[in-house]
Structure 1
Amino acid sequence: MMTISPATYTWLVDAFTDHEIELTMFSAMFVTGLTPVEVFQRLGLAPAPADGFPALGDMDSFAAYETDGGSVLAAVGWELSDYELGMRLSVDTAIVSLYIGVNKDRFTYFADGQEVTEFEVAFPQGRSGSDPDRLVPHLQRLGMPVDEEDDDDGFYGRAASSSALALAAIVTGAHLTPAHLTRPGLTGTMASLL
């Protein structure tokens, strides 16, 4: 079995970074044990075929790809998941909603219809939720700061984003690789989720 680390997801952070201005902006949802078709069914959406993740300029759609352990959905510019959507999708499973934006970033772990752990991607020490410390062993293994006194110098931007993606893959089992993007995927419009 592959060891997942922050370096595992630098390719995805790079894909959603405008390198001219060094701005990373994306939203992802890692879903345990559901295929993209099942995700779309739970959301009441009609899917269309996808030919890759949305490009940096595509602000109107999201794409979903099947992984070995579930599905990963991604969008650019919009927050893919809100609280109600996360609660609804996580019934009888687990999901991570991850948003990296200009003035805000958020990691939220939902399980069995509950928000378990939430924190700012660049500040995992400020966790909240019904069980805010549930993911601490994974945070520590990934080298993420977990306590107020932890040294968090350098833990922002690309380091924080790739660590959050690795954490999402670890806790959901939905590990996305570039090879998954060569398989058929599904797409939907952001307007259908709002």
Structure 2
Amino acid sequence: MIEGAMMTECPEEFRWLSGYEQLGEIYCVSFVRGLSPEEVLRRFGVDESTLEEVTFAELDERSAESMRDDAAGYIGAAKIGDWTVVVEPGGWQIAVDSEIYTPVSRGTEVVSVCRHDYASDTFAYIVDGEPVVLFDPMLPDERSGSDPDRFVMEMREAGLDPDHDIDVDDAHIDFPMERSFALASRVTGLPFSPEILELRFLGAEPLEN
């Protein structure tokens, strides 16, 4: 019954996400180990003439003003311990675009959580350009990557049952994004908290493809 409770109750430390509207219907939050915010943004591919220090509110506002058809028009990065957190408001690229995650993760590791209300949500763990664990949090049994079972124990702890079959179990996973961040926290050792969004970010406009 413990697993059942975990499937229906929101992880306490991420309950704040349910009422946080600024992140919106599409966003990607990624954690990159061992690189500075400047280096992460450079690898992502930004117009370096647009680099500036911003608050999260300013980051969100600039992204809304410059939103592109298929990606974020403005992104931000901030250093937290050994990691840099990257926020793509309205974006998704670090989680699923190999042209972005390959250079960003070169020689290091990336943990990425992406919400996309008009496509699929994504949890990704990428090492040196290679997806190691990749799945839709609503379908945690359908994992891909070079080592899809790497975080089976951590997934269960976060309430993302790695054996959950939506067709057989006839039940959706509640709070998939909150559980994805709970899993990311177990992998990185960092909680994604409201305090992170109070940091000063280094922001910039991505280069046009």
TM over 0.5: yes
| Distance in 2 between residues matched to 1:99 and 1:183, nearest whole Å | 20
TM-score by length of 2: 0.74
- CA distance 1:167–1:69, change in 2 (3 Å): farther
Match of 2:148 among 113, 119, 132: 132
Q: Is the 8 A contact 2:32 2:83 kept in 1?
A: yes
Change (3 A) 1:6 1:80: farther
The residue number in structure 2 matching 1:64 is: 77
1:35 aligns with 2:36: yes
| C-alpha separation in 2, matches of 1:107 and 1:55 | 22
SS of corresponding position for 1:186: strand
Query: Scaled by the length of structure 1, what TM-score is found?
Result: 0.79
Unaligned segments of structure 2, at least 5 residues:
1-9, 68-72
3-state SS of 1:123 partner: coil
Which letter maps to 1:145?
Answer: D
**1:55 aligned partner:** 60
Residue 95 in 1 paired to residue 110 in 2? yes
> 1:31-60 CA distances to partner (integer Å, 9 max, x unpaired)?
122221221233353232121154387232
Structure 1 85/152 Cα, relative in aligned 2: closer, same or farther at 3 Å? farther
Q: Distance in 2 between matches of 1:180 and 1:148?
A: 31
Total equivalences in the alignment: 183
- State the SS of the aligned residue for 1:129: coil
The residue type paired with residue 196 of structure 2 is H
Rounded to whole Å, the distance in 2 between the matches of 1:131 and 1:84 is 21
CA contact (8 A) 1:63 1:73 kept: yes
> In structure 2, what is the equivalent of residue 109 of structure 1?
125
Structure 2 letter corresponding to 1:6: P
Q: Could you tell me whether the CA contact under 8 Å between 1:30 and 1:70 is conserved in 2? A: yes
Provide the C-alpha distance between the structure 2 equivalents of 1:113 and 1:135, rounded to a whole number of angstroms: 18
Higher strand share: 1
Which sections of structure 1, spanning at least 5 residues, go unmatched?
A: none
SS at match of 1:96: strand
**1:128 positional shift:** 0.6
Change (3 A) 1:130 1:83: same
Contact 1:118 1:132 in 2 (8 A): yes
Letter in 1 for 2:13: T
Higher relative helix content: 2
Cα distance 1:6–1:105, how it changes in 2: closer, same or farther (>3 A)?
Answer: same
- Deviation digits for residues 12-45 of structure 1 (CA, Å, limit 9, x no counterpart): 4533468xxxx74321111122221221233353
The amino acid that maps onto 2:74 is S
